[in-house]
Structure 1
Amino acid sequence: MLIGQVTDIHLGFEPNNPAEFNRARLDRVVGRFLHGVNRPELVLATGDLVDRGDIASYRRLREAFEELPCPVLCAVGNHDARANFLEVFPETPTADGFIQYVVELDGRRLIIVDTLEEGRHGGAFCEVRAAWLNARLQEAPDTPTVIVMHHPPVEVGIDWMNTHPDEPWVERFARAIAGHRQVQALLCGHIHRAISAPWNGVTVSVCSSSAPQVGLDLRPIDPEAPDLRDMIVAEGPGYALHRWTESGFVSHFGSIGEQVTFARYDAKMQPLVRSMIAERPSGD
C-alpha cells in the first residue's frame, strides 16, 4: 500500500488573497499525488490544515482535496478549530469530543489521534484520549498499526519548536502505547521539516510542510535575545510517501521544485539495472 502525506498546509494565511501562496503550494502537492509516478491509494493530512481555524479556509481546503481520487484522512493541529473543521468535514469520525478514529486497511490499521488543545501551540493528550487510544490498541494486538498525529512526541533539536520530553502529554501518550508491539510507526507534522527519529522503540516520521518550512538551525535559542536567525523559509513544498507492505513500513520524503535529471532508464542504463537485480536472491 502507498500512502501520501501532506501537512501544515496553513490555508488562509492570506485570507483575502484568491491566489494565496499556501494554496498554490498545496495544489502542487496535490498535483504530484495526481500525476506523479507514485500515486497514493490514500492521503493523510496531518494537521494545521488551515491557519486561523476559519470555515472559509476549510471550505477551500475541501475544494483542493476534491481533486484527489483517493480518500483523504485528516488529523487536527494547533492552528485548527474542531467545530469549524467538522462543519465542513462532517463525515470525519470523532470520539469523546475529539477528532480521533480508526481506519481498517485490509489487515492493517491506521489510528488518527487528536493532539490539539485550542489556544496552545504545543501538543496535548489528556487521560480521556489516552484511555481511548489504549483501548483501540488492545482491540487488535496482532494487527500492524500506524498512529497518525500532528505533534511529534520526540525532541527534534530545533529549539523554538521542540517538544520537551518532560511535558505531561508526552508521558500520557507513552503510557498509552507502551507494550503495544503492533505499532510500527508514528506519522506527524508540526515541525515543518522532514525528520526521522526513534522514540520508545517506535520510529517517528515527521513530514515537511506544504507551506513554508522552519529554518534548519539547531543552535539553542534565547527568548530574551533575538539573533536574526532564519525562522521561516520557503523551500519547495514538502510531502511524504509511505510504503506499507508485509515487510514493514518505509517512509520517503520529497519536495517539489526544480531538479536536474542526469540519467534515465534507457538502453545505456539497462546493463546496470540487470546486474543489480541479478544480485538478489531468486526466491526459489
Structure 2
Amino acid sequence: MLIAQITDIHLGFQPGDPNELNRKRLDSVLAALTADGRRPDLCIATGDLTEHGTIPSYRTLKTVFDALPFPVWPILGNHDVRENFNSVFSSLPRTQDGFVHYAFDAGPLRFVMLDTLEEGLHGGSFDAGRAAWLDATLAASDRPTIIALHHPPLESGNAWMTEDPRADWIEALHGVVARHRHVVRLLSGHLHRGMTTGFAGTTLCVCPATAPQVALDFRDLDTTRPDGRDMIVAESPGFALHYWNGRDLVTQFGSGGDHPVLARFNARMQGEVAKIVGEREPA
C-alpha cells in the first residue's frame, strides 16, 4: 500500500492570483504523484492547507483535490480557520466538541486524523478532551495505525521553528500514544522540512512543505537582535511517500518539478540491474 503525504500548502498566500507561487508548487507535486507508476492509494494533507483560511481558498483547494485519481484526507494547521474549512469540506466527520478529528480504515491500515489547531497560536495544542478522544479511538481497533497531525511534538534544532518537548500538550500526547503499541507512525508537517525522530515508542515523520521550505539552521537565536539569517528558501516543493510492506511503514521523500534523468532501464543497464536483483533472490 502506498500513502502520499503533502503538507503546508499555504494556498492563497497571494490572494486573487490563480497563478500564485504556492499553487504552482502544489501543482508540480501533484503532477509527480499522479505520474505513471507512482500513483498512491490515498493522500493525507497535514495542515496549513491555506495561508489565511478563507472560504475561496478552501473552495479552490477542494476543486484541486476532487480532481485527483485518489482520495485526499485533510487535517488542520495553525494557518487554517476551522469554521471556514468546515463550511467547504462539509462531508468530513466531526466530533461533538467541534474539532476536526476522524478515523478511517484503508487496506490493512487505520488512519487517525488529529486536530491540534488552537486558533490564535502558532504551536500545537492537545487538551484533555482531545486526549480522551484519541485514547478511545486508538483503543477501538488494534489494526496497525497511523496518526496524522499538523504540529510535530519535537525539538527540531531550529531556534524559531520548534517545540518545547516539555510542553504540557506534548507530554499528554506522549502518554496517550505510548499506551497503544499498534501505532506504527506519526505523520506531521508544520516545520517546512523533512525530518524523522522517535516518539513514544514509535516513529515521528515530518513531511517537507509544498510551499517554500524553512532554511536549515541550528544556530542560537536572539529575538532582540535580527542577524539577517536565511529563514524561508525556495528549495523544491516536497512530499512524502509512505510504503506499507506488510510489516512496517517505509518513508521516502520526493520533490516536484523536472529532474534530469541520468540513467534508464535499457539494454545497457539490464545486466547490472539483473545482478542487483539476483543477489536478493533465494538460491
TM > 0.5 between the two?
A: yes
Q: Structure 2 unaligned runs (5+)?
A: none
Q: Secondary structure at the match of 1:23?
A: helix
CA offsets 1:121-166 (integer angstroms, 9 cap, x no match): 000011000011011111113x101100000011111110111111
> How many residue pairs align between the two structures?
282
Aligned to 2:123: 122
Q: Alpha-carbon deviation of 1:37?
A: 3.1
Q: Secondary structure at the match of 1:253?
A: strand
Aligned to 1:208: 208
1:45/1:73 contact within 8 Å kept: yes
Superposition pairs for residues 1-284 of structure 1, below 5 Å? 1-95=1-95, 96-141=97-142, 143-282=143-282
- Output the CA distance in 2 between the equivalents of 1:260 and 1:98: 44
Q: Alpha-carbon deviation of 1:107?
A: 2.9
Letter in 2 for 1:210: T
Letter in 2 for 1:191: L
- Output the CA distance in 1 between the equivalents of 2:5 and 2:17: 25
- Output the CA distance in 1 between the equivalents of 2:238 and 2:279: 34
- Output the CA distance in 2 between the equivalents of 1:138 and 1:80: 29
Q: Alpha-carbon deviation of 1:173?
A: 0.6
Letter in 2 for 1:228: G
- Output the CA distance in 1 between the equivalents of 2:66 and 2:199: 35
- Output the CA distance in 1 between the equivalents of 2:109 and 2:258: 36
CA offsets 1:108-128 (integer angstroms, 9 cap, x no match): 201000000000000001100
- Output the CA distance in 1 between the equivalents of 2:178 and 2:240: 26
Letter in 2 for 1:149: L
CA offsets 1:40-60 (integer angstroms, 9 cap, x no match): 111111000001111011011
Q: Alpha-carbon deviation of 1:217?
A: 0.8
1:145/1:183 contact within 8 Å kept: yes
1:30/1:65 contact within 8 Å kept: no
TM-score when scaled to structure 2? 0.96
Q: Secondary structure at the match of 2:160?
A: helix
Once the two structures are aligned, what percentage of the paired residues are identical?
Answer: 48
2:46/2:74 contact within 8 Å kept: yes
With over 3 angstroms needed to count, the CA separation of the structure-2 counterparts of 1:36 and 1:205, relative to structure 1, is farther
- Output the CA distance in 1 between the equivalents of 2:124 and 2:9: 18
Q: Alpha-carbon deviation of 1:258?
A: 4.1
- Output the CA distance in 2 between the equivalents of 1:216 and 1:275: 38
Q: Secondary structure at the match of 1:269?
A: helix
Letter in 2 for 1:224: T
CA RMSD of aligned residues (A): 1.3
Q: Alpha-carbon deviation of 1:177?
A: 1.2
CA offsets 1:172-210 (integer angstroms, 9 cap, x no match): 111111221101110000000011111222111111000
2:178/2:201 contact within 8 Å kept: no
Letter in 1 for 2:206: V
Q: Alpha-carbon deviation of 1:247?
A: 2.1
- Output the CA distance in 2 between the equivalents of 1:36 and 1:185: 27
TM-score when scaled to structure 1? 0.96
Q: Alpha-carbon deviation of 1:5?
A: 0.9
- Output the CA distance in 1 between the equivalents of 2:228 and 2:7: 27
- Output the CA distance in 2 between the equivalents of 1:180 and 1:281: 36
- Output the CA distance in 2 between the equivalents of 1:24 and 1:258: 13
